[in-house]
Structure 1
Amino acid sequence: MKKFYITALALILSVSAFAQTERSLEEIDQTNSWLKVGALIGAPSSAVGSYSSFVLGLDLAAQFLRTNNFGVGIATGYSKYFEKSEAPAYQGMNDGFGAIPLGLLLRFYPQPEGIFVGTDIGYTFLSGVTSVNTGGAYIRPMVGYHNYDWNVFAYYNHIFRPETTIDVQSVGLAITRNLRFN
């Protein structure tokens, strides 16, 4: 959990070093705010990889460009961790399980089109889990390519659960479409 907070703090401090003219929330329009809707596919890693064969999900976010290079917003979605055919019930997870994140979206865009970096930080609720701990804090760092309409990125997702259960980790690829506000 300590690594989670250190990573989040380092990202926020590094982004603040690129100070620019900020926009206020009253300036929201189609040039600086949009919905991101897309899909993701991934491979479970660490201990959950012995239980789950792959991850398939939907990605949804609302983003506001606070400056020309820095975006903030809210991220959510749904990811299904599919059970391996021969896997026994694992840590209270039967027939696969789902993950519903709710977090803060942070993105840095060095150029109007090209490479970007970012992370989502928040809490993930797990469905289909019978253990007492049905969620945990999460961080999802990413790097990818963006243009006016699309974002394609690679990500690492880590859901930090209490020590008595397993952390949920995965790596994958996602694509999202930018839907502009009118």
Structure 2
Amino acid sequence: MKKILLSLTLMMAVFATYAQTTREIEDMNEENSWLKLGLNMGIPVGDIGDYSSFAFGVEVAGQFMRTDNFGLGIASGYTKYFANKDLIDAADFGAIPLGLMLRYYPEPSGFFVGTDIGYTFLTGDIATDGGFYIRPQVGYHNYDWNIFAFYNQVFTKGTALDIQTIGVAATYNIRFK
């Protein structure tokens, strides 16, 4: 499943990039590049849903519009997973993703699709240090805001549980100058 999702993501990026005129990094300006800051909240699902009842976090990303429709960037942030209060020995834990952000915007304002892929570092009392993550998303954007729904999965090693979350997020665009 990981290989299929990664292959589809990379294929989307290649088609979107080569289907249009591309910009070089030295062409970066306030019209095609920005910092995204925002908040997210989600519900853990799957086996981790028995351990954690709610997730809340901050988003930060830098994006460069490689073409008029395709954005490329770096995404990070911090999400805190709150332990299920019904479990006596449960403790909160955190997730710090560091990944590549890929976005496809069909129009200057409207719906978009994208994904983040990379590695998530886990903090707190959890059985693993982290793992590969993928975060497909669909949402609405305009010049200043992005509001989107996402599915996030962190693939952990060994006997640790994969961390799966379904949620919503909103980010504000701060233009580079």
Q: Please indicate the TM-score interval, normalised by the length of the shorter structure.
A: over 0.9
Give the ranges of 4+ consecutive aligned residues of structure 1 lying more than 6 Å apart after TM superposition: none
- So what's the TM-score if we normalise by structure 2? 0.95
Q: Deviations over 1:82-105 (max 9, x none)?
A: 01111143xxxx521000000000
- 1:32 shift after superposition: 0.4
Counterpart of 1:138, as a letter, is Y
Equivalent of 2:162 in 140, 147, 167: 167
Q: Counterpart in 2 of 1:100?
A: 96
State the identity as a percent: 52
Contact 1:51 1:88 in 2 (8 A): no
Partner of residue 5, structure 1: 3
- Kindly provide the CA deviation profile for residues 112-142 of structure 1, in whole angstroms up to 9, marking residues without a partner as x: 00000000000000000353x2100000000
Aligned residues: 175
Aligned alpha-carbon RMSD (Å): 1.1
CA contact (8 A) 1:100 1:125 kept: yes
Structure 1 length as normaliser, TM-score?
0.93
SS of equivalent to 2:38: strand
Q: Does 1:122 align with 2:134?
A: no
Given that 1:39 and 1:58 are in contact with CA atoms closer than 8 Å, whether structure 2 keeps it comes out as yes
Structure 2: runs of 5 or more not aligned: none
Conserved? CA contact 1:33–1:64, under 8 Å: yes
Distance in 2 (alpha carbons) for counterparts of 1:97 and 1:111 = 38
Q: Is the Cα–Cα contact under 8 Å of residues 100 and 126 in structure 1 kept in the other structure?
A: yes
Which residue of 153, 156, 163 corresponds with 2:148? 153
Mean Cα displacement is larger for which, 5-14 or 144-153?
5-14
Shift of residue 44 of structure 1? 0.4
Contact kept, 8 Å, 2:32 with 2:65, in 1: the verdict is yes
In structure 2, give the amino acid aligned to 1:64: F
Deviation (angstroms), 1:6: 1.9
* Aligned pairs (5 A) from 1:3-152: 3-18=1-16, 19-89=19-89, 94-131=90-127, 133-152=128-147
Are 1:180 and 2:175 matched, yes or no?
yes
Q: Distance in 1 between matches of 2:133 and 2:54?
A: 19
User: For residue 111 of structure 1, what is the amino acid of its counterpart?
Assistant: E
